[in-house]
């Protein structure tokens, strides 16, 4: 029996599964080290007795240093949100990690991959997930590979796609993939298996399939979700919606952008059902039914209790994707008011999602629609929590880059732009009942197109940013 003295490392702790696995490991008494390309994103999680260190899957030396003294590594990195060459990036990351683990004398790697019969003609994404497992095993480090179908839980991309379709489309024109079979599994059970593998030596050097025990078509799953949401849906099957067209459709209707929707839908042409259940014989886990998993996810959604969400996963990319910028434009607003700094910041902290942007929400929505049309993330991601903020959170088409409670919120734009953009809010206390509010919009153009873009939207920005700042102070005043 493996003892709880193991030193555990997690690669991918900012992602959907990793963000829930780390607290579970801590609860079980393990010593945990999180490895991240941007460690500051994990600092705000405030996980007790947890190390957060730098490590980049594309720089093997950084991984070797981060893995020193580690017994078991959870490898939860993937490129679902990645670039067009995501297979190459996935492979390179896996090779670097496996080599680093061997050099650092890591005893074991536990990897969560995708479920599908390898004998089938797999989608590019599923093929890549299974290739990662092979590459991790190649260097001789002991590997446990768990393969799962779609994961059901609040904040998972698969669940949000089904939920959004049911919520927004009472009548659906459905493609062939809604008849594909899968064996969904609750996020709680995925975590059960991931943690229990540590104490079950028979799982070492094994590829194990995990599922919830129910085989359902996507059509059946949508009907069950509709029933639990108190809605009725009608489906009209058509043969013409290809995976790419379906990806565009999901990009428009659901919160999940094209970069995730397309590989997900492409994988749906393959049935995703367990063909062996050895892990159920070795590890006793009370499996949640699909209805139970959905009911829990919907309740957490309703209460805003989303522990982690697909939007938090760090994009897998190399340093070669950086750009050199020559010019910076800014729009800055300062307002001194007879309102406490805490009261002003409470209003700032609610920005985005269902609260909106404090001025011309219809313009923000149109900007989000335009972004979706050109393959961007749009505005539908919303917020993970209505008031809570941490570094790395997605807020509509922004990402929280810096956050200091009561004083600073800096957002980095993730919409399609010919440059980089930030929106920063600062509040300074001048006295117990007086504060200075500073709002700064910054844009760095990539090239001449970026310069044209800035001047083209300047009149709109002047209107929006001026009134947004005024309305934040008005809202803070009226909430007193």
Q: Which residue has the tokens 């043969």?
A: 239
* Helix H or strand E encompassing 113: strand 108-114
Exposed/middle/buried for residue 234 (C-beta within 10 Å: 0-12, 13-18, 19+): exposed
Q: Domain 323-478: give its CATH code.
A: 3.30.530.20
Using CA atoms, how far apart are residues 140 and 155, in angstroms rounded to an integer? 35
- In whole angstroms, how far apart are CA 447 and each of 56, 73, 346, 451, 452? 29, 42, 37, 7, 9
H or E element at residue 134: helix 124-138
Q: Is residue 133 a contact partner of residue 145, using CB atoms and an 8 Å limit?
A: yes
Q: What angle do CA 285, 290, 292 make, to 5 degrees?
A: 75
- Decide which of 3.90.950.20, 3.40.50.720, 3.50.40.10, 3.40.640.10 is the CATH code for 7-312: 3.40.50.720
Strands 142-148 and 206-210: what pairing?
Answer: parallel
Question: Do 269 and 386 contact (CB within 8 A), yes or no?
Answer: no
Three-state DSSP at 42 gives helix
Same fold, 7-312 and 323-478: no
CB atoms within 10 A of CB 355: 17
pTM over 0.75: yes
Burial of 466 (0-12, 13-18, 19+ CB in 10 A): middle
Please tell me the distance from the alpha carbon of residue 78 to that of residue 114, in angstroms, as a whole number: 11
Residue that has been written with the tokens 């947004």 in this structure: 468
Q: Going residue by residue through the chain (480 aa), what tens digit of pLDDT does each one get? A: 444 578 999 999 988 999 999 999 999 999 999 999 888 888 878 898 899 999 999 999 999 999 999 999 999 987 655 556 778 888 999 999 999 999 999 999 999 998 887 666 777 778 888 899 999 998 889 999 999 999 999 988 888 888 888 887 777 777 776 788 899 999 999 999 999 999 999 999 999 999 999 999 888 998 999 999 998 888 777 765 565 666 666 767 777 776 677 667 666 677 889 999 999 999 999 999 999 999 999 999 888 778 888 777 766 554 433 344 458 899 999 999 999 999 999 999 999 998 999 999 999 999 988 888 887 888 888 888 889 998 889 999 999 999 999 999 999 999 999 999 999 999 999 999 999 999 999 999 988 899 999 999 999 999 999 999 999 999 999 876
Residue 298: phi and psi, rounded to 5, are -65, -40
- Under DSSP, the state recorded for 197 is G
263, two tokens: 């590989």
CB atoms < 10 A from the CB of 81, how many? 20
98 vs 156, 166, 281, 318, CA distance in Å?
Answer: 27, 41, 29, 18
Angle between helices 157-168 and 258-267 (to 10 degrees): 100
Which residue ranges make up each domain of the chain? 7-312, 323-478
pLDDT, tens digit, for every residue of 186-207?
999 999 999 999 999 999 999 9
DSSP code for 198: G
The C-alpha atoms of residue 21 and residue 17 are separated, in whole angstroms, by 6
Question: Which residues make beta-bridge pairs with 333?
Answer: 439
Q: Within 283-402, where are the H helices?
A: 290-303, 341-348, 361-373
If you ran DSSP here, which 8-state letter would residue 326 be given? -
Say how far apart CA 286 and CA 101 lie, in whole Å.
33
* 290-303 vs 187-196: helix crossing angle, rounded to 10: 110
Q: What are phi and psi of 331, to 5 degrees?
A: -125, 120
The residues that bridge with 399 in the sheet, in sequence order, are 394, 412
């Amino acid at each position: 029996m493996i003892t709880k003295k193991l030193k555990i490392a997690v690669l991918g702790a900012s992602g959907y599964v990793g963000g829930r696995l780390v607290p579970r490991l801590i609860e079980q008494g393990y010593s945990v080290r999180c490895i991240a390309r941007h460690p500051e994103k994990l600092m705000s999680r405030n996980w007790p007795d947890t190390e957060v260190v730098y490590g980049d899957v594309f720089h093997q030396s950084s991984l070797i240093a981060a893995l020193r003294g580690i017994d078991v590594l959870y490898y939860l990195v993937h490129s679902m949100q990645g670039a067009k060459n995501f297979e190459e990036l996935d492979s390179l990351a896996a090779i670097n990690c496996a080599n680093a683990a061997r050099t650092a004398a890591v005893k074991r790697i536990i990897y969560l991959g995708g479920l599908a019969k390898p004998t089938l003609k797999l989608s590019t994404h599923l093929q890549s997930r299974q290739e990662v497992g092979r590459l991790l095993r190649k260097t001789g480090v002991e590997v446990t590979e768990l393969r799962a179908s779609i994961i059901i839980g609040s904040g998972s991309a698969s669940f949000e796609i089904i939920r959004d379709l049911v919520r927004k489309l009472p009548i659906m024109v459905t493609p062939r993939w809604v008849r594909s079979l899968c064996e969904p599994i609750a996020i709680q059970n995925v975590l059960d298996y991931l943690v229990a593998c540590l104490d079950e030596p028979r799982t070492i050097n094994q590829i194990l399939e995990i599922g919830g025990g129910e085989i359902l078509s996507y059509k059946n799953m949508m009907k069950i979700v509709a029933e639990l949401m108190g809605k009725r849906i009608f489906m009209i099957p058509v043969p013409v919606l290809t995976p790419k067209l379906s990806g565009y459709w999901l990009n428009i209707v659901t919160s999940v952008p094209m970069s995730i929707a397309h590989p997900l839908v492409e994988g749906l042409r393959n049935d995703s059902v367990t063909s062996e259940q050895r892990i159920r014989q070795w590890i006793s886990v009370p499996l949640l039914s699909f209805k139970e998993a959905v009911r829990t996810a919907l309740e957490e959604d309703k209460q805003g209790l989303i522990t982690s969400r697909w939007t938090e996963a760090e994009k897998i990319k190399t340093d070669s994707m950086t750009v050199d910028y020559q010019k910076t434009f800014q729009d800055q607003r300062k307002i001194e008011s007879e309102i406490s700094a805490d009261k002003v910041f409470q209003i700032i902290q609610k920005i985005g999602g269902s609260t909106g942007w404090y001025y011309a929400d219809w313009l923000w929505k149109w900007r989000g629609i335009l972004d979706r049309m050109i393959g961007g993330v749009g505005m539908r991601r919303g917020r993970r929590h209505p008031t809570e903020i941490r570094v790395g959170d997605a807020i509509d088409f922004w990402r929280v880059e810096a956050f200091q409670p009561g004083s600073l919120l800096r957002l980095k734009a993730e919409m399609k732009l010919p440059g980089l953009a930030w929106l920063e809010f600062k509040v300074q206390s001048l006295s117990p009942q007086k504060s200075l509010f500073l709002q700064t919009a910054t844009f760095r153009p990539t090239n001449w197109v970026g310069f044209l873009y800035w001047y083209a939207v300047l009149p709109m920005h002047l209107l929006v940013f001026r009134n947004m700042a005024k309305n934040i102070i008005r809202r803070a005043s009226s909430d007193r």
